[in-house]
Structure 1
Amino acid sequence: MAQAWKCSGLRWSADGPVLVWHGGRRTALTWGKRVAFGVAEGGVRTCVGARGHACPTGAAVSGRSTGARCEECARLDRAHSVAADTIADDPRPYRVYLAWFGPGMVKVGITAQERGSARLLEQGAVCFSWLGAGPLMAARRTEELLRAALRVPDRIPYVEKRAVRAVLPEAAADRAVEVAELHARAVALGGWPESLAREPLRVVDHLEVFGLAGLPVAVGEVGELVAGGVVSGELVAAAGPDLHLATGGGVVVLDTRLMSGWELVPAEGSELTVPVRGFKEKAGVQDGLF
């Protein structure tokens, strides 16, 4: 019987995307690499736990959940996250940023300064600029100021990000326009916390890092993994948690968060046999199974 592995998720290193497995094994991903794995026959997806602790009940979770956590572990994980707004005494400096994912898709967010641009890579930001840096509460107040005054959201659904990656403007200057315009409007606002130092516009572009130049239009995305199912394709791009895989039926996007909680084995076939959702706004989209 083939050895089964459990995936801990996709991480971004200085050299590009890396799949991390339980036990510390890491698989570097490069363009053109074949990504192929199967889900163990008769397997059940189980909760990955929270904050480094195993789920006490080993609860089964939905194949469509990107969090791969049961209700209780999800609550515990959320309660200790910066995004939940429940942590007020974090002494680390934070940065506020504007991130662009495609035309009309700009969001505001915060991240610990020590993390650098890792958060932007994890979210699949095609380009971004810092806005300011300071204490956590000042960063939060600035984020809320921008959301209210400029109507900039703090999150954008991944399905929207995925659908436009192959039709992004070719010129970096064109990709930077919306970030530059919002940056100018943001720094001109009154009401910024005094403890948050504003930062000048410096747009960082991730198009080449993600391999999005010349990317074929994706026909759809993996909806979930299923016991006995196979994922197989050639890696043509990666952004955030997503792998863009060239398959016999076209390019399909795999959100690697769907891999967590399953026992995965080497693929015995070369076909994609898991459910795929078509991008409805695209013409000629295939729906259902490949």
Structure 2
Amino acid sequence: MAQAWKCAGLRWSAEGPVLRWAGGRSSALARGRRVAFAVAEGGVRTCVGARGNACPLRAAVPGRSTGARCEECARLDRAHSVAADTIADDPQPYRVYLAWFGPGLVKVGITARARGAARLLEQGAVCFSWLGCGPLMAARRTEELLRAALGVPDRIPYAHKRAVRAALPGDQAERTAEIAELHARAVALGGWPESLTPEPFEGVDHADVFGIGDPDRFPAAVGEVAELVAGGAIGGGLVAAAGPDLHLATERGVVVLDTRLMTGWELVAAGGDPCAVPVRGFREAAGVQDGLF
């Protein structure tokens, strides 16, 4: 009987993306590597728990959930989250940043200084620049100030990021131009907290890290995996990886797999380059979804 592995999510290291598995194992994901797996017939996706603790109910969770947590575990996980504004007394310094995912897709956010650029890699930011550094609440107030003054959000749906990824400018200067202009406007604003130190513009580009920097060698994806299902399989050569997404060259063309859909399933190795899972076309920027095919 094939050995079953349980995915614990994708993480970015200095060497690139790494798939983590329950029990501490990991798989480095170099471009060109073949990645293929299947869900056993009759398999059930179960809650991954919260804050390092197993779900006491081993509750079943929907296949389309990117969080893979039941309602109670999701509540516990967010109870200690900077992103959810439930922590206000973290003493470590935080940085404010501008991140660019494609033309018109810019967000402002904060991340702990100790994490470096890891948060930007995890989000799939094609390029970014730091704006300033200071205490958590000063960073949060600056984030809110810039959201209002610059008209940029603090979240961008992953579906929008995927939809534009194959049509990005091939020149790094073009990719960083939008955040360079917004950075200049941001530092010219009044009302920054005195405890937050502004940082000069320095555009950092991740296109080559993700494998999407050369538009002539980065094939457009035909769609994205909507969910994994019992008895389904997905796999192929790794064309690119950005944020939680793997671009796989399957038998149906390049398909984007959000690795957050893998968590909670028992997975086994699969042969060939299968695409026996529901796939949907990319949503437009306005959020209109194509039908399944």
* TM-score normalised over the length of structure 1: 0.96
Conserved 8 A contact 1:219-1:286: no
- CA deviation map 1:43-99 (0-9, x unaligned): 100000000011111100000000000011111111111011111110000000000
Look up the match of 1:162: 162
Conserved 8 A contact 1:94-1:135: yes
Conserved 8 A contact 1:122-1:240: yes
1:266 aligns with 2:269: yes
Conserved 8 A contact 1:276-1:287: no
Distance (Å, rounded) in 1 between the aligned partners of 2:22 and 2:225: 23
Q: 1:242 aligns with which of 219, 240, 245?
A: 245
Distance (Å, rounded) in 2 between the aligned partners of 1:19 and 1:29: 7
1:217 aligns with 2:220: yes
Distance (Å, rounded) in 2 between the aligned partners of 1:225 and 1:19: 17
Aligned alpha-carbon RMSD (Å): 1.5
Query: Structure 1 residue 248: deviation in Å?
Result: 2.1
Look up the match of 2:114: 114
Distance (Å, rounded) in 2 between the aligned partners of 1:203 and 1:76: 36
Distance (Å, rounded) in 2 between the aligned partners of 1:236 and 1:269: 16
- CA deviation map 1:5-41 (0-9, x unaligned): 1001111111111100011111011111111000122
Report the 3-state secondary structure (helix = DSSP H, G, I; strand = E; otherwise coil) of the residue aligned with 2:83. Answer: helix
Conserved 8 A contact 2:162-2:282: no
Q: 1:96 to 1:35 in 2, by over 3 A?
A: same
Conserved 8 A contact 1:210-1:238: yes
Distance (Å, rounded) in 2 between the aligned partners of 1:287 and 1:37: 25
Report the 3-state secondary structure (helix = DSSP H, G, I; strand = E; otherwise coil) of the residue aligned with 1:84. Answer: coil
Q: 1:276 aligns with which of 273, 276, 279?
A: 279
Q: 1:50 to 1:280 in 2, by over 3 A?
A: closer
Distance (Å, rounded) in 2 between the aligned partners of 1:162 and 1:86: 29
What runs of 5+ residues in structure 1 fail to find an aligned partner? none
Report the 3-state secondary structure (helix = DSSP H, G, I; strand = E; otherwise coil) of the residue aligned with 2:36. Answer: strand
User: Identity over aligned residues, as a percent?
Assistant: 78
Aligned length: 287
Conserved 8 A contact 2:36-2:274: no
Look up the match of 2:134: 134
Q: 1:173 to 1:268 in 2, by over 3 A?
A: closer
Look up the match of 1:202: 202
Q: 1:74 to 1:83 in 2, by over 3 A?
A: same
1:175 aligns with 2:175: yes
Report the 3-state secondary structure (helix = DSSP H, G, I; strand = E; otherwise coil) of the residue aligned with 1:67. Answer: coil
Distance (Å, rounded) in 1 between the aligned partners of 2:158 and 2:260: 12
Distance (Å, rounded) in 2 between the aligned partners of 1:67 and 1:246: 25
Distance (Å, rounded) in 2 between the aligned partners of 1:175 and 1:4: 41
- CA deviation map 1:121-143 (0-9, x unaligned): 00000000000000000000000
What runs of 5+ residues in structure 2 fail to find an aligned partner? none
Conserved 8 A contact 1:230-1:269: no
Conserved 8 A contact 1:220-1:286: no
* TM-score normalised over the length of structure 2: 0.95
1:52 aligns with 2:55: no
